[in-house]
């Protein structure tokens, strides 16, 4: 399997997952806050909208179709 087909399958899979869940929210660790003796851990939320999933899905399909037409 060529790398183009692998990337296409990954994009299609990620696109379907993002669309199925109506977007995905990811949490990443943020900067710790130190106020005197108090230490607070923070997290940042990142949202992947369904539009990004649709774009990934369409891009994966285009890559898959373009890769199958090459001989």
Domains of the chain, residue spans: 3-69
Report the mean per-residue pLDDT for the chain: 90
The dihedral sign for the CA sequence 27, 31, 32, 33: negative
CA nearest to 17, candidates 57, 64, 60, 61:
57
Distances (CA, A) of 10 to 3, 23, 40: 11, 17, 37
pLDDT at 70 over 80: no
- pTM for this one? 0.73
Between helix 3-20 and helix 50-69 the angle, nearest 10°, is 150
pLDDT of 26: 92
CA distance 57 to 41: 36
pLDDT of 71: 53
Query: Residue range 22-29: average pLDDT?
Result: 92
Query: Residue range 34-62: average pLDDT?
Result: 93
pLDDT of 2: 83
């Amino acid at each position: 399997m060529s790398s183009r087909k692998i990337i296409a399958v990954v994009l299609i899979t990620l696109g379907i997952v993002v669309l199925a869940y109506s977007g995905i929210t990811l949490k990443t660790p943020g900067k710790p806050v130190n106020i005197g003796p108090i230490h607070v851990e923070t997290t940042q939320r990142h949202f992947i909208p369904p539009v990004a999933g649709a774009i990934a899905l369409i891009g994966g399909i285009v890559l898959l179709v373009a890769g199958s037409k090459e001989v």
